[in-house]
Amino acid sequence: MPDLRLRDWRAHRALSQADLAERSGVTKATIVNLEKVDHRTPHPRTVRRLAKALEVQPHELYREPSIEEEIR
């Protein structure tokens, strides 16, 4: 499963978790959980809301796993 790049994009846009929560309508608790390494797969609607708030396409929020990660 590809990892979310949520923290990277949020930092790039200079937004706090609270700022992103307010802009996206997604709770801060959800954002905190999605930024953890072992997060659950987010609902597609959540991804769309976050992407819109970050001004990116939804697919840009995902990072493909490296070859080493796929081997594990």
Class of domain 3-58: mainly alpha
Q: Is 28 buried (19+), middle (13-18) or exposed (0-12) by CB count in 10 A?
A: middle
Q: Output phi, psi for 61, to 5 deg.
A: -80, -5
So what's the pLDDT on residue 18? 98
Rounded to an integer, what is the distance from CA 45 to the centroid of its chain? 12
Q: 4-62, pLDDT tens digit by residue?
A: 889 999 999 999 999 999 999 999 999 999 998 777 788 999 999 999 999 999 999 98
Entry pTM:
0.82
So what's the pLDDT on residue 63? 76
Q: Is 12 buried (19+), middle (13-18) or exposed (0-12) by CB count in 10 A?
A: exposed
Contact 50, 6 (CB under 8 A): yes
